[in-house]
């Protein structure tokens, strides 16, 4: 029997199912999880995004949004949130955008306790521009600029942005999820929900990192992507809430 489409499975806030992401890319799964939570909470957030493969998802979403220079989304979000304190504000950045090119912006926004929710889609490469190493590329990971694997002696050590942010007083919530399995997606949705709820309550800076697959940048086949994420990234960074107020 030939396969047939039984439903589009498209979140209402996504305007089209069409996209140019590679087969097996994790960004679409991660963004769908975010949009589902936004819709479930009935929020109308403003979205500030950086530059990366995920940008096309932002353009395709039924949200007021603005694309920012690399790394600057938390700074732009600061201005918008201070002008519109009742409006939920979300930033969306990649690891190259946030951790390599604009690290200070997210650290300062967290230190100031800006009442925004910053999302990081971390695939360990500058996916959009060809798959070079970023500040989060794990030791041993092959990228276009570390063909023999990241070597700490030559390339330095990866930055664990979640652990860094969790130490900052203005950060109210810091968590790391992933999209390599349905169970991980469900856990990640819970994290995004908590971050947004805490933002609405005015708790302070909230942050969710989502580990996402980039089979193209990792030199692995599409089906190998989720396994590679688990072995290479999850083993190094770990998954869970790194900082959270007690659940009421």
Ligand X SMILES: Cc1ncc(C[n+]2csc(CCOP(=O)(O)OP(=O)(O)O)c2C)c(N)n1
E strand map for the chain: 46-49, 64-67, 89-94, 117-122, 125-126, 132-133, 171-178, 205-211, 240-243
Q: How far apart are the C-alpha atoms of 190 and 234, rounded to whole Å?
A: 18
Q: How far is the CB of 226 from ligand X (least distance, A)?
A: 17
Residue 18 tokens, joined: 């069409």
Q: Is 177 in the site for Mg ion (CB under 5 A)?
A: no
Q: Counting every residue, how long is the chain? A: 248
Among 94, 177, 215, 225, binds ligand X (CB under 6 A): 94
Q: Is 123 in the site for ligand SF4 (CB under 6 A)?
A: yes
Q: Is 127 in the site for ligand SF4 (CB under 6 A)?
A: yes
Q: How far apart are the C-alpha atoms of 37 and 240, rounded to whole Å?
A: 18
Q: How many residues bind ligand X (CB under 6 A)?
A: 18
Q: Is 124 in the site for ligand SF4 (CB under 6 A)?
A: no
22: how many CB neighbours lie within 10 A of its CB?
16
Among 31, 54, 228, 237, binds ligand X (CB under 6 A): 54
Q: Is 50 in the site for Mg ion (CB under 5 A)?
A: no
Q: How far apart are the C-alpha atoms of 165 and 169, rounded to whole Å?
A: 9
Residue 73 tokens, joined: 């989304």
Q: Is 125 in the site for ligand X (CB under 6 A)?
A: yes
**Widest pairwise Cα distance in the chain:** 58
Instruction: Enumerate residues 6+ apart whose C-beta is below 8 A from 237.
Output: 138, 160, 162, 176, 211
Q: How far is the CB of 123 from Mg ion (least distance, A)?
A: 4
Q: Is 123 in the site for ligand X (CB under 6 A)?
A: yes
Q: How far is the CB of 217 from ligand SF4 (least distance, A)?
A: 5
Residue 46, SS3?
Answer: strand
Q: How many residues bind Mg ion (CB under 5 A)?
A: 5
Q: How far is the CB of 134 from ligand X (least distance, A)?
A: 6
**11/215 with CB nearer ligand SF4:** 215
**133/174 with CB nearer Mg ion:** 133
Report the interface residues with ligand SF4, using CB under 6 A. 21-22, 25, 27, 53, 123, 127-128, 214-217
Report the interface residues with ligand X, using CB under 6 A. 50-54, 70, 94-97, 121, 123, 125-129, 134
């Amino acid at each position: 029997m030939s396969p047939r489409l039984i439903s589009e499975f498209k979140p209402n806030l996504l305007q089209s199912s069409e996209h140019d992401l590679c087969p097996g890319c994790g960004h679409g799964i991660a963004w769908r999880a975010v949009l589902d939570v936004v819709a479930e909470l009935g929020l109308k957030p403003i979205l500030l995004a950086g530059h990366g493969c995920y940008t096309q998802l932002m353009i395709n979403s039924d949200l007021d949004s603005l694309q920012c220079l690399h790394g600057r989304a938390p700074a732009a979000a600061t201005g918008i949130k201070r002008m519109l304190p009742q409006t939920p504000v979300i930033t969306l950045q990649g690891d190259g955008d946030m951790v390599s090119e604009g690290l200070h912006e997210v650290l300062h926004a967290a230190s100031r306790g800006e009442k925004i929710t910053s999302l990081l889609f971390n695939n360990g490469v500058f996916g959009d521009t060809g798959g070079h190493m970023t500040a989060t590329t794990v030791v041993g990971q092959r990228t276009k600029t570390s063909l023999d694997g990241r070597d700490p002696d030559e390339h330095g050590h990866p930055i664990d942005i979640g652990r860094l942010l969790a130490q900052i007083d203005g950060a109210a919530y810091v968590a790391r999820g992933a999209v390599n399995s349905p169970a991980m997606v469900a856990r990640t949705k819970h994290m995004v929900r908590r971050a947004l709820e805490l933002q609405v309550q005015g708790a302070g800076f909230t942050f969710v990192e989502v580990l996402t697959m980039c089979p193209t940048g990792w030199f692995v086949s599409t089906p190998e992507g989720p396994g590679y994420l688990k072995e290479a990234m999850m083993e190094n960074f770990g998954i869970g809430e790194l900082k959270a107020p007690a659940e009421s």
